Amino acid sequence: MIKSHTVPIPPEKVSKWRPFPPVAGDVGPAPAASTAAPAIAKFLNRDLSWLKFNDRVLAEAADPRVPALERLRFCTIVSSNLDEFFMVRVAEIARLARRTPLRRFPDGLTAAKALAQIREQVIGQKARQATVLDDIFAALEGEGIRIHADFHGNARLDREVKTRLPEIKYVLRKSTELAPRSLMSERIHVFVRFPGEYAILTIQDRESRLLELPRKGSHRRFALIERWLAERAEVFFPDREVIEAFPFKIIREADLRYRPDDEESLENQIAEAVHGRLRAKVVRLEVDAPSYSEGALYLAASLGLDSAGLYRFDLPLDLRTLANIYHVRGAKSLRYAPVEPQVPPPLADTRRIFDTIREHDILLHHPYDSFDSVVAFLSRAARDPNVTRIYHTMYRTSRQSPIMEALKEAVRQGKKVTAYVEIKARFDELNNLRWAQDLRQAGVRVVQPMGGFKVHSKVTQIFRKEGETEVSYVHLGTGNYHPSTALQYTDLGLLTANLAISAEVSAYFTALRRQGASAKFRELLVAPRNLHSETLRLVKEETRIQKAGGRGHIIAKMNALVDTDLIEALYEASRAGVKVDLLVRGICCLRPGIKGLSENIRVVSVVDRFLEHSRIYYFRAGGVDKVYLSSADWMPRNFYTRFEIAFPIKDTVLRHFIRDVILEGGLSDTVKAWSLKPDGTYERVVPGKSGRVVRSQEMFQALALDHYRGTILEYRIPL
């Protein structure tokens, strides 16, 4: 039997268990501001827009046409998305509400009012998620997978779990006090209240809360144990009167506090700050209970939360654990067919990879085109005796990374290798610190990190001795050098030996080594140097062309559109008659379709099995067709606090392919696309009068499997 220390409830708090207004699902009045918000805001709130994106993810979980285990996966993504949203955005907005209560966001909301609306939206979203999860459980049970989350009245199930108690006890811990520092974030706890005191049980290992039970007939069975622990709390406290018990989870803010100009090394500061997250301010308490209780209110007050930070749902906590069920053996019909990434025919012979790139630029469209081609590019360079130098930026990568191993192998082969490892990549700090140390020990020159900026660009440059000259080969991408996410995210990469691009990539690496020293860029658009100003200029040029009697057209694909200067420029372009097509996966602060403001702008969001992650910016430019791929969204942080690159597609064939196939494919989607309305709501796109059904991600996969026959790329297929 587990012995757990109990903690007395201070007598002065027993009669004051409601230090804040009772919670009944509403958010209460927001503090009054001294100035009135605009009657009609030109901008949508970025955080409410993000919640709309999470709603679209939830819609995939709710769609009965989606395979059952995929629906479960989408449902778990909704939960993990929401947790990160609270760690980062809600924590930041709460700080703004405390420090500058009268400050307004571009949409006119104060921070306090934004928090109130966020809470209202989250409550509705979680209620919908509970309904969807019940439906998914029923669908899975019909397919032979039963997930038990409730144990009341099921004596056999109760006995089965109880017999596993010897296994479970090793993942439970006793709590000696209820203080913010004593509870782990993102863990499942059980609060147990007795007359005048309480105790806490903690499931240390999140994954162990999911038990696989013996099969019952043809059914595979699983159980989430925290509700059982709450219902059977007397098992742990046989001599105590249990008044109530319920599972709960806390979320702490994830902002790292460090001092870029401090004498202590930035790496040490980041490591300390990451460990400091364990003691960071609690921003959310979520309890799994049928109703609010005395214990839940007391728990919230003890954690320093008011009513806005307490959430109650009759829904299992932290659904991410259920993602493990997705990988059960068999059940192929319950998942999408595995993607089959293809190696483009020009890159099939890795021994000729440099000759092939020198002949013409190569575009890679992941996950349809294999990320192995990028690994082969670096691995071949590491072993090629003619390669002299390698430069690389790393933002996120896997724990076992073939890219990092290639860099270390290059050093062993006598090559000079320089890497910038971004140790401030949120939630990957410790992994990246480990890689920075590992690379240094292998002999790689790891550039000293910049405190005030993140290096978010994805760039590799290889120098190779060919005759009397040194030729540069470059890979530029929209996504991370991460083999796992390259199977889950849609991204684009360019392999090129273009002289102008190579020269500026070299200047970019020089700027990084010199801690951001200024450099002039004409081919590349580089943040924080000229990315914002040049993007604005390109938008305004389309407006000028349209006003001069030409035909302006802008197509932009990104994860988020937030920057107000660019939104204003797009509004001006629309008023001039420029056609603006936007593919925005997540946050969009622009209101499309408003007469006199944005009637020539449409916004489409595609949410499907792969996370849309590529950034593409197309400008008709009077018929010249300018296309840029980028690591940057149109957000202030990407323009001003990160080193980012938008790189031009110089190859005419690739420009046409990106415009006519990739961008047009996304805009033509009638299966997984949503259309943004002027009021900020989204509705599903349906086939038009032609009845043409297009699912863009399936189309892209089919094209890759057929080696792009029937497209403009076909003539590059080797005979």
The single residue listed with the structure tokens 């020990």 is 441
φ, ψ at 97 (rounded to 5°): -65, -35
- Taken in order 89, 95, 98, 100, the sign of the CA dihedral is negative
| Measured distance CA(712)–CA(655) in Å, rounded | 10
Listed residue (541, 537, 565) closest to 553, CA to CA: 541
* Residue 12 structure tokens: 């002065």
Single-letter amino acid, residue 506: S
Annotated catalytic residue, options 148, 365, 392, 456 = 456
**116-128: burial string, b at 16+ Cβ within 10 Å, e else:** bbbbebbbebbeb
Question: How many CA atoms does the CB half-sphere of 312 hold within 13 Å?
Answer: 18
Q: State the DSSP H helix or E strand holding residue 3, giving kind and residue range, or none if neither.
A: none
DSSP 281: P
Is residue 219 part of the annotated active site? The answer reads no
Question: Which residues make Cβ contacts (< 8 Å) with residue 275, sequence separation at least 6?
Answer: none
Whether residue 310 contacts residue 249, with contact meaning beta carbons closer than 8 Å, is answered with no
> Which residue pairs from 323-329 have beta carbons closer than 8 angstroms and sit at least 24 positions apart in sequence?
323/72, 323/73, 323/76, 324/207, 324/210, 325/69, 325/72, 325/145, 325/147, 325/210, 325/222, 326/69, 326/70, 326/72, 326/73, 328/69, 328/145, 328/220
| Measured distance CA(661)–CA(65) in Å, rounded | 26
Single-letter amino acid, residue 601: I
E strands in 467-528 = 469-477, 489-496, 525-527
Helix 91-99, helix 111-141: angle, nearest 10:
160
| Measured distance CA(392)–CA(377) in Å, rounded | 12
Active site residue ranges: 456
